[in-house]
Amino acid sequence: MTAFPDPTYAALAARFERFLPATLDRIPPGLLREALAHVLLGGGKRFRPVLCLAAAGADPGAPPEEDGRDPALFAAAALEWMHTYSLVHDDLPALDDDDWRRGRPTLHRKYDEATAILAGDALHAGALVLAAGAPCGSEPRAALCRLLAGASLAMVHGQVLDTIPHAMTGGASPSGPTVEGILEMIDGK
């Protein structure tokens, strides 16, 4: 993990890293779990989950036995699963065709394209399972699920505009996308 100068950020990131492997417990041992572990546990800045934990007022020094009862950790993990799904699909040959992500081979390079697609699908579904299973009331869980689903839909829309420029409602000219079209794409991504 990258070192951060802020001790609160580092403590929240460490707490999240401690919790994240347990989010794979629902996945049976085998290829899918191995692929998910490759992309989820392979490092990264963890900016999104740490920001989520900080916004929720999570205790950076909470002991491990409290992790399973902290809804903020479930929300942060759901956010990381959703973000990672978007990266896995973005790396695919039909989109960006990237070979490396976070200093490691992308899933379609390490395994194959089918495994990467299915792992991305599992990350998307798993994010919603984590959100729906957060240890809090039904209203916050439903709100989190709606937020994640809406963000996912916006990301897909942004990716469509990035990949298929003529799909921009903001317009494209013969010389390329317009400023309005580019802003529409950025808003989605």
How many Cβ atoms from other residues are within 10 Å of residue 126's Cβ?
23
CATH topology of domain 1-136: Farnesyl Diphosphate Synthase (1.10.600)
How far is Cα 122 from Cα 102, in angstroms, rounded to an integer? 20
Kindly list the domain boundaries of the chain, sorted by start residue.
Answer: 1-136, 138-189
Closest CA to 68 of 20, 29, 34, 28: 20
Would you write out the chain's pLDDT as a tens digit for each of its 189 residues?
Answer: 455 558 899 999 999 999 999 999 999 999 999 999 999 999 889 999 999 999 999 999 999 999 999 999 999 999 999 999 999 999 999 999 999 999 999 999 999 999 999 999 999 999 999 999 999 999 999 999 999 999 999 999 888 888 886 666 655 555 666 677 677 767 766
How far is Cα 23 from Cα 10, in angstroms, rounded to an integer? 20
